[in-house]
Amino acid sequence: MTESARYMYAISRNLDAEALAGCHGLAQGQLDVVQHRRLSAVVSTVDLSDYGEEALRRNLERLEWLEETARCHEAVVRTVADHGPVAPLRLATICLDDDAVRKRLDEWYFALDQILDRVAGRAEWSVKAIAPVEPERVPAESAVSAPAVSGAAYLERKRQQTQSKTEAADRAMAAAEKMHSALVDVSVASRRLPSQDPRLSGHQGSMVLNGAYLVDVDGQGRFEETYRSLEGGHPELLLDVRGPWPPYSFAMLEQG
């Protein structure tokens, strides 16, 4: 009675289904590989009662469901990345059957093939720089509770506080720019992503850099040296470096 469909995780090239043994898809589904010419799409069967249009609209609103699905999607993409170049698909790309999957591979063949060329042997690294929240610096004299601070003095103190905050923010931004350009030098492509919402990422302070860098696997050592030296050179910023990621930020179709 329940209808099913094929959920697409990623596109790779000449991928052997054997390589995916031990990794499961959504709802513990078996991963299959749909081949078309040189391209391989990694798919699994999902139930339309959970992944139909109506159900998806509902489920995507549930953070718990979304997280589970996103983490599973990501785990499959990572496994594929272990075995060859990978172009991850966006979450919830679903076709009705394998023929429909092949039709997509055929339709986007050249673009996908190019993207796989671009990312082969390369990985994405994420570098975030966070300027910690500055503790309110209270001028020394105010510690001794001065009984009568004139209005002008009060305003002057406020002005100084604001100014020192602005200066600190400017310095952090300038440091972020320098870091980014140093990282660009040791990567083959880069992308600045918007700062993350601290309530979702858990960081405290202001995220002055959220960069994605496409790095040659052979150049990984140089990349790591670079961010370590940046970390040493900028003790005022917290660096959060994560990688290797599958090249999500560099596997995007130019939409016409």
Contact 96, 5 (CB under 8 A): yes
Minimum CB separation from another protein for residue 205, in Å? 12
Contact 86, 13 (CB under 8 A): no
Nearer to another protein among residue 47 and residue 171 (C-beta): 47
Q: What are the distances in angstroms from CA 242 to CA 20, 123, 127, 142, 235?
A: 24, 11, 7, 43, 18
Nearer to another protein among residue 198 and residue 233 (C-beta): 198
Phi-psi region of 108 (alpha: psi -120 to 50; beta: other; left: phi over 0): alpha
Nearer to another protein among residue 156 and residue 197 (C-beta): 197
Give the integer Cα–Cα distance in Å for 112 and 134. Answer: 46
Encoded tokens for 38: 């040189």
Minimum CB separation from another protein for residue 78, in Å? 4
Minimum CB separation from another protein for residue 251, in Å? 6
Minimum CB separation from another protein for residue 178, in Å? 22
Minimum CB separation from another protein for residue 137, in Å? 25
Phi-psi region of 94 (alpha: psi -120 to 50; beta: other; left: phi over 0): beta
Nearer to another protein among residue 163 and residue 204 (C-beta): 204
